[in-house]
Structure 1
Amino acid sequence: MEHDETGCQPPPEGPILCINNCGFFGSAATMNMCSKCHKDLILKQEQAKLAATSIENIVNGSSSGNIKELAVAGTLDVPVDSVERKAISLPPTLAFGSGETDEEKEKEKEKEKEKEGPSRCTTCKKRVGLTGFKCRCGNLFCGSHRYSDKHDCPFDYRTAARDAIARANPVVKAEKLDKI
């Protein structure tokens, strides 16, 4: 009777298992799901909303949607009945899987560098591998040619140092004071 008057519910008699049968305990705050299943459910709902809005943007012809959102929407299974069937032609920049990411391009460049052959000293052509020294002039050298005077380095260290000092120590002039 006290519970009806206050509007409170009595506490559950025992712990409630997750409704997805994952083995963890759920709570009423998370719809009787464990925290992981609840987060997954919310994530799926958000992705479904993104998919619906991006498909509407494509069908309506507005290209103001974000490309990343379109890529996320492309991985979801959307019921075909909810979307009108129309012939959709996407520009090549918006087509799913049409381009590579920057990371993939960098990995391909690294593989190409590995295929070029072993790294060698620019002066004596000795194999240096991982122990090579990269100079400011952009070349790779062995231990004996790593210093600029040993390989006739074209890099101008003097002007580089002057520029660095000038950037580090800007000229500060105070306003002149009027003499009384």
Structure 2
Amino acid sequence: MDHDKTGCQAPPEGPILCINNCGFFGSAATMNMCSKCHKDILLKQEQAKLAASSIGNIMNGSSSSTEKEPVVAAAANIDIPVIPVEPKTVSVQPLFGSGPEGSVEAKPKDGPKRCSSCNKRVGLTGFNCRCGDLFCAVHRYSDKHNCPFDYRTAAQDAIAKANPVVKAEKLDKI
């Protein structure tokens, strides 16, 4: 009775379930759907509008459809980024025996990975040193292959970067 005098409506009896029966609660602001179902419906409507406008452009013979897409997105109050797509060129390599032999550019094949000191094949078990070379298990340590890399200076620089100099402010004398 008091609600009639003030003009307010009574709140609903209980929570409203989503009309899509997904198990979540809906609200009147989202047409009695949960937020996820409401977003899905809006997305489907937006895609239908874009598809209809692109079909219309194809039927009219218009080659550029970028003029109408931002207008449709702005009408729906949804920000959709427009990304230009550039066509990719694909080069087809001829099969063996087709075409002149000099036209096929062969990738220079790297030989097997070898130790820089003893020239032993290391394969996947090679060790990369800081000097930039590859070594076997015997020559992996810097003293075994006369490494030119200066580890001491590198360590000092790392410590200097990690620990900046902190100076306290000078106190005023009384």
Q: What TM-score, normalized to structure 2?
A: 0.48
| TM-score using structure 1 length | 0.46
Tell which structure's C-alpha radius of gyration is larger.
2
Name the structure with the higher helix share. Answer: 1
